[in-house]
Amino acid sequence: MIPRLYIDAGLEPGAAAPLSDAQAHYLKNVLRRAPGDALHLFNGRDGEFAAEIAELKKRGGVAAIGEKTRAQPPEPDLVLYFAPVKRGPLETIIQKATELGVAALRPVITERVVAPKLNLDRLRAIAVEAAEQSGRLSVPSVDEPIKLARLLEGWPAGRRLLFCDEAGDDETLEWGGEEGRAAPLLDGLKSEDSSAHDWAVLTGPEGGFTPAERRLIRAQNFGMAASLGPRILRADTAVIAALALWQAALGDWRRG
């Protein structure tokens, strides 16, 4: 298999692309590649290009860029807002959300969040690796944490919110001022216009949202509450399920 690497530099045929120390080490010492071996390079802007290793040094290296192999495709503007969890499930969320095509990931601090201090550089590295391995031509941003109330106060106009409500059968709560149960997620999404809005998905912490947080979220008028079924899902499982169903109903899975 030809290695795929994400780089920040611009890509065009005939140019040279710098390889970082970590990339050079990976190619030389992990994959046992040498000058002349093939690569694929992408930067999230210019598409994917064939390349070959021109030089591998003790610190860094250089790749010679060849022809473009894939154009940069349009991608859904889907944001994942997630409550941080323990390290293992957290890294799973970053990896799987990248594979499932999110454009941005942002931790949301809720009342029941119990997690160590976030290493955003580590999470960004996981997103890069997941993009390289999954064939994506972009890497999602991993943004600074934000408190739930502040997120809702500054919600961008035109973006819909898919609220994954683990207590979706509670008819006493409201959404946008109207009482009612959270719809089964796929049923709710099927009623949406796929081209009308950008979207975001919000999932909770290991202990779930508090009743006050659920009331605050449902008091907004820019989204829908959705149930993920009759079983209690782990936080990382809920993320995967919600993103997969959104992609199937409204996203780029419909294009194959």
Whether the CB-CB separation of 37 and 1 falls below 8 Å is answered with: no
Q: What is the mean pLDDT of residues 30-51?
A: 97
d(CA 152, CA 54) in angstroms, rounded, equals 49
From residue 11, how far is each of 23, 140, 201 by CA, in Å? 17, 19, 32
Contact assessment for residue 101 and residue 137, using Cβ atoms and an 8 Å cutoff: no
Instruction: Provide CB contacts within 8 A for 81, sequence distance 6+.
Output: 106, 107, 108, 151, 200, 201, 202, 203
Q: Is 80 exceeded by the pLDDT of residue 235?
A: yes
At residue 194 the predicted structure's pLDDT band, cuts being 50, 70 and 90, is low
Average pLDDT over residues 192-198: 68
Residue 163 clears pLDDT 60, i.e. is over it? yes
pLDDT band for position 189 (cuts 50, 70, 90): confident
pLDDT at residue 197, as a whole number: 73
**Spatial separation of the C-alpha atoms in residues 130 and 136, rounded to whole Å:** 8
Kindly list the structural domains of the chain, giving each domain's residue range(s) and its CATH number in brackets, ordered by start.
4-70 (2.40.240.20), 78-255 (3.40.1280.10)
User: pLDDT confidence of 254, banded at 50, 70, 90?
Assistant: confident
**Is pTM, for the whole model, over 0.85?**
yes
- CA dihedral angle for residue 227, residue 233, residue 238, residue 242, rounded to 10 degrees: -40
Which run of H or E residues covers position 213?
helix 211-218
Token couple for 27:
């190619």
Average pLDDT over residues 116-133: 94
Q: Is 81 helix (H, G, I), strand (E, B) or coil?
A: strand
| pLDDT reading at 4 higher than 70 | yes
The Cα 84–Cα 90 span in angstroms is 6
Q: What is the pLDDT of residue 29?
A: 94
Check if the beta carbon of residue 227 is closer than 8 Å to that of residue 185: yes
Q: What is the pLDDT of residues 63-115, one digit of tens each?
A: 999 999 999 998 889 999 999 999 999 999 999 999 999 999 999 999 999 87
Please report where in the chains the tokens 């009342």 appear, as a residue: 111
CB-count exposure of residue 197 (10 Å: 0-12, 13-18, 19+): middle
Q: Are 238 and 203 in contact (CB under 8 A)?
A: yes
Bridge pairing between strands 16-19 and 223-227: unpaired
pLDDT at 167: 62
Q: What is the pLDDT of residue 181?
A: 61
Distance CA 148, CA 107 (A): 9
Q: Region 128-140: what's the mean pLDDT?
A: 97
